[in-house]
Amino acid sequence: MPSDERNPAGPEDERASLNGTGSRDDEGPSLVRQIHDLASALRNTEVGELDLTEDGVRIYIKRQMEPTVIAPRAPHPAARHEEYQEAEPAPAPPDLGAAILAPLTGMFYTASSPSAPNFTSVGETVQTGQVVCIVEAMKVFNEIKSEISGVVTAIVAQNGQLVQKGEPLIRVKPL
C-alpha cells in the first residue's frame, strides 16, 4: 500500500490491528494481560460495562448481567380485613451521618499500602481536609479527603473493592 493511502476505517482501526495471538505486535502480551486484569477486577461486581482508552488504545468490556428475579409473595392466610391490627411503626434506622462519596470509579483502599496503617477507622474523629482513603484509577492513587469534621460511623466500601463514581465510601457523623 502506498504511504499516502490509509486504512478506510481510520487510524483507530490501524493501531487496533492484532496479530494471531490477540496482542499487538509492538506491545506483546501486555494488552492481553491488561484486558484479563480488567475482566478479573469486574468479577463479583455490579459493573456491566467498562470503556477505557489509554495511549490511543480503546478497551470496551460489556458483560451480560443475570437478571434479578423477585418471586411474588403469596398473601398470608391470616391476613383478613376484619383481623387487621395497626402495626407499630418500624424503628427509624440509626443516623450514620453524611456520606463521603467516590469522586471517580476505581479501586477503594483504606491505606496507602498493605503494610501502612489505615487512614481512619470507625469511631475515629476526622477533620475537614483529612485524607480518609484512596481510590486508584488507571494506576493513579487519588487521595479522598473528608469534606466535614466528625466521627467515622461506617466504612461502607471494602478494602480492594471496585467502587463506582457517586457511591458512598465512608460515613461521618458531623460534630
The predicted model gives 39-68 an average pLDDT of 73
The predicted model gives 119-126 an average pLDDT of 94
Domain count, the chain: 2
Q: What is the largest CA-CA distance in the chain?
A: 88
Structural domain for 38, as ranges: 11-62
Q: Is residue 123 part of a domain?
A: yes
> Is 53 found in the same domain as 106?
no
Closest CA to 139 of 41, 72, 60, 3: 41
> Is 144 found in the same domain as 101?
yes
Per-position DSSP letters for 146-168, written without gaps between them: -SS-EEEEEE-SPTT-EE-TT-E
Instruction: Grade residue 11 by pLDDT with cuts at 50, 70 and 90.
Output: very low
pLDDT tens figures, 58-90: 777 777 666 555 555 555 555 555 555 555 665
List the CATH number of the domain containing 107: 2.40.50.100
Q: Is residue 4 part of a domain?
A: no
Using CA atoms of 151, 154, 158, 160 in order, give the dihedral in degrees to the nearest 10.
-10
Q: Is residue 92 part of a domain?
A: no
- Distance, in Å, from the CA atom of 12 to the CA atom of 7, rounded to the nearest integer, reads 9
